[in-house]
Amino acid sequence: MNVNLIQGLINGLLLGGIYMTIALGINLIYGVMRIVNYAHGEALMIGMYVAFWLFTLAGVNPYLAIPIVAAVLFMLGIILHKSVIEPVLDLPLSRQILIFIGLIHVFQNSAMILWSPNYMNIDVPMSRESIQIFSISIPIGRLLATIIALVSAFLLYYFLKNTKIGKFIVATSQDPEAASALGIDVRRIRTLTFGLSLALTGIAACVFLPLYFVYPYIGTSFNIIAFIIITLGGLGSYTGAIIGSIIVGMIESLVSLLYDSSIATAVAFIVFILILLFRPSGIMGQRE
C-alpha cells in the first residue's frame, strides 16, 4: 500500500477525531431537546479564550487546564440554558433560529470587545512536533486531540449507559413524556445535558488551542462542519456523530492529498448532500 495513502488515512482519522469532540456535544443536546445549538462554535470560542488566558496569565498548560475550562463551560451552559434556551424549546424553528443568530452576535461581539479581533495563539512545547514511524509522520498535537476526543467519547458513552443520571438522559431523549411520567425531572435533566455538552466543548477547546489561532469568529467555521457532520450521521445519534466525523475527516484529508486542498471541504459537503438523497435523516437517523 502506498505510504502517501496511509498518511492520508491517518490524517483523516486525526481530523475526524477533532471534529468528533464538537459533533458529540451538539448531538447530545439535539438528542435530549430536539434543538440544534447553532451557537455551539461560539461556546468553543469562549472555551478557547479561557484556556488562552489561563496559559498566558497563569502559565497553565492547556492539556492540564481541561478540568478548569470544562467546569467554566459547564457553568456557562447552565446559565445559558436557564436564561435563553429553555424558554425557546417549544417555539417554531424560525424563531429559534432568530434567537440563536442573536446569541451568535452576542458571543462574537462580546469577545471582540473584551479581547480584540486579533488572531492569537500560544506555543505549547511538543504540540507542533511530529512522531516519525517509518516514513509516516504523526503530528503530536493532533494525536493528543484525537486520543482525548476518543477518551471523552468513551467516557460519555459509559456515563450514559451506566450511571443513573446518564440513564435519565437517555430516557428523556427517547421519550420526554414517558420519562416525566416515571418521575424524572425532565427540566433538570435538560439543563444538566446542556451543561454537559458545553463541558465537552470545553475539552475540545483545550485540545484545539495548541493547533489553531483563536479569534472571535473561529466558531463559525467549526459550526458549519459540525452541522454537516451531525446531519450526515443523523441528528441526535451518538454513533452517527462518530461515523459522520470520520467520513468528513477522511474525505477532506484524502481529497487534499490526492487532488486539491481548496475544494476538500466542498467535496465532503457534496457527499453529505448525496447521502441525504438516500438517507433523508442521515446515516443513523430515525424518521420522526
Partner 1 sequence: MTTLKADVVKHLAENKNLLYIPIVVLFFIPLLQLPIYVTHVFILTFLFAYLCTAWSLISGYTGQVSLGHSCFYGIGAYTTTLLFHFYNLTPWIGGTIGIVFSVIFAFILGYVCFRFRVSGPYFTFATLAFAQILEMLFISQSQITGGELGIEMPYTGSPLDFQFTSKIPYYYIILMLWVGALFLSRHIQRSKFGYYLFAVREDEGAAEACGINTTKYKIFALILSAALTSFGGVFHSQYYLYVTPKAVYGLDLAFQISSTSLVGGSGIWFGPSLGSFLINPVVEGIRATIGGTFFGVPLLIYGILMILIGRFLPGGVSGIIQRGLATRDMEMSKKVGSQ
Window of 45-53, 154-162, 228-236, 248-256 that interacts with partner 1 by CB under 8 A: 228-236
Q: How far is CA 74 from the centre of its chain?
A: 14
Chain centroid to Cα 25, Å, comes to 5
Least Å distance, CB 102 to partner 1, is: 3
Which amino acid is located at 137 in the chain? S
Contacts of 239 (CB under 8 A, 6+ apart): 233, 284
Q: Compute CA distances 276 → 25, 121, 204, 282, whole Å.
A: 22, 37, 27, 6
For the CB of residue 87, give the shortest distance to partner 1 in the complex, in Å.
Answer: 6
Any contact of residue 266 with partner 1 (CB under 8 A)? yes
Q: Near partner 1 by CB under 8 A, which window of 17-25, 221-229, 237-245, 249-257?
A: 221-229
When the beta carbons of 133 and 224 are compared against partner 1, the nearer one is 224
- Residue closer to partner 1 by CB (options 167, 187) is 187
CB of 193 to partner 1, least distance (A): 18
For 187: left if phi > 0, alpha if psi spans -120 to 50, otherwise beta; the answer is alpha
The answer to whether 79 contacts partner 1 (rule: CB under 8 A) is: no
Residue 257 binding partner 1, by CB under 8 A: no
Residue 19 sits in the site that holds partner 1 (CB under 8 A): no
Q: Does 282 bind partner 1 (CB under 8 A)?
A: yes
Select from 5, 64, 75, 106 the one that contacts partner 1 (CB under 8 A).
Answer: 106
Least Å distance between CB 106 and partner 1? 4
Provide the minimum distance between the beta carbon of 93 and partner 1 in the complex, in angstroms, as a whole number.
5
Q: Does 97 bind partner 1 (CB under 8 A)?
A: yes
Cβ distance to partner 1 smaller for residue 67 or 87: 87
Rounded to a whole number of angstroms, the minimum distance from the CB of residue 34 to partner 1 is 9
Tell me how far apart the alpha carbons of residues 252 and 130 are, in angstroms, rounded to a whole number: 20
Using CB under 8 A as the criterion, which residues of the chain lie in contact with partner 1 when the complex forms? 36, 84, 87-88, 91-99, 101-106, 108-110, 112-113, 117, 220, 224, 227-228, 231, 235, 260, 262-263, 265-266, 269-270, 272-273, 276-277, 280-282, 288
